[in-house]
Amino acid sequence: MATYNTGVFRGNGGASPDALVPQPFAAQVIKELPKASTLLNQARRVTMSAGTYRQPVLSVLPTAYWVSGDNGLKQTTTEQWKNVNLVAEELAALVPVPNAYLDDAGIPIWDEIRPSLVEAIGAAFDSAGLFGVNKPASWTSSDIYSAATSAGNTYTPGASEDAGIGVAKLGTMLARDGFAANGFAAAPGFTWNLVGFRSAQGVPVYQPNPAEGPGGKLYGYNLDEVLNGSWDATKASLIAADWTKVIVGVRQDITFTMHEDGIVSDDTGKVIYNAMQQDSTIMRVVFRGAYAMANPVTRTNTTDATRAPFAVLGPIAALS
């Protein structure tokens, strides 16, 4: 649902105390450290000098032939490529804040808002690329979850089954498709689920580095818990990926601008907010980026429909 009339204002129209306007004693904001985008961190990143970008991907492999005898004829072969298109689309948001509220607040409001907006953009970008949520129509590549499921690269462990066995199965699926898992994205709390598993001798099968926080290494590869709110635990608990096959294009990095005379209107043209008339400042954040998946032909699987550089571990009851 589109929204045009939200912003940062005093609680209940200023009639009741507000968390950011200090009482006579002190003000303190307790918040969670904003989390970045998994795709922007893990995927292969390219800088786009225009709104579109083409990445050639191998589509037909050459074939070698045995030559019959000393005078046998050598056969011809070919190698072909197809383009994967990146189309930059825009993510943006406006945050109106009354100037009186800015003056009275006991903290630097804009410094608090910026990290949350960055997190919101990361969540929207990850939701689209990982699970296809609100994915722009111009992004013709399948999202990661759909690509894996369409290729049959999914496994859901039983109720009493060691999740580590399931992870190994994902690696096997990728290997059979001709790819190598080089990293994982996981549901929040997945590493704690792994910590609970023990070998037959009672030894933990997964021992993360406490200094690294959630995530760490799994079978020697990076494991990132997706903590920005974009993960759908009803669909997956873990994604194993060959991240070199995920391409993220950045046309315009995240930028912030401030406006004291801006007007906010809805999709019918009706003016909802007038910064100059209402003595307010509007922060605008803009990001332009693109996502695409490369699924090049491999020697071990030449069929597009059954091949994907991703594999999904289904929902684990403790995480969904």
pLDDT in tens, 10-59: 664 554 555 554 544 334 443 433 457 899 888 888 888 888 877 776 66
Q: 140-162 as b/e, with b when 16 or more CB fall inside 10 Å?
A: ebbbbbbbbbebebbbebeeeeb
Q: Please tell me which of 48-52, 171-175, 254-258, 314-318 the model is most confident about, judged by mean pLDDT.
A: 171-175
Task: List all residues 6 or more positions away from 240 whose beta carbon is below 8 Å from its beta carbon.
Answer: 167, 170, 171, 174, 181, 183, 184, 310, 311, 312, 313
Domain 34-63+76-313 annotated CATH 3.30.2400.10: yes
Task: List all residues 6 or more positions away from 256 whose beta carbon is below 8 Å from its beta carbon.
Answer: 114, 117, 283, 284, 285
* pLDDT classification of 109: cutoffs 50, 70, 90: confident
User: Which residue in 168, 171, 158 sits closest to 206, CA to CA?
Assistant: 168
Sort residue 286 into left (φ over 0), alpha (ψ -120 to 50) or beta: beta
Domains in the chain: boundaries: 34-63+76-313
Q: Please tell me which of 29-38, 189-198, 250-259 the model is most confident about, judged by mean pLDDT.
A: 250-259
Cβ pair 273, 280 in contact under 8 A = yes
3-state secondary structure of 91: strand
User: What's the gap between Cα 176 and its chain centre?
Assistant: 25
* DSSP state at residue 14: G
SS (HEC) of 253-294: EEEEEEECCCEEECCCCCEEEECCCCCEEEEEEEEEEEEEEC
- Tokens at residue 226, please? 């997706």
Averaged pLDDT score across all residues of the chain: 82
3-state secondary structure of 222: strand
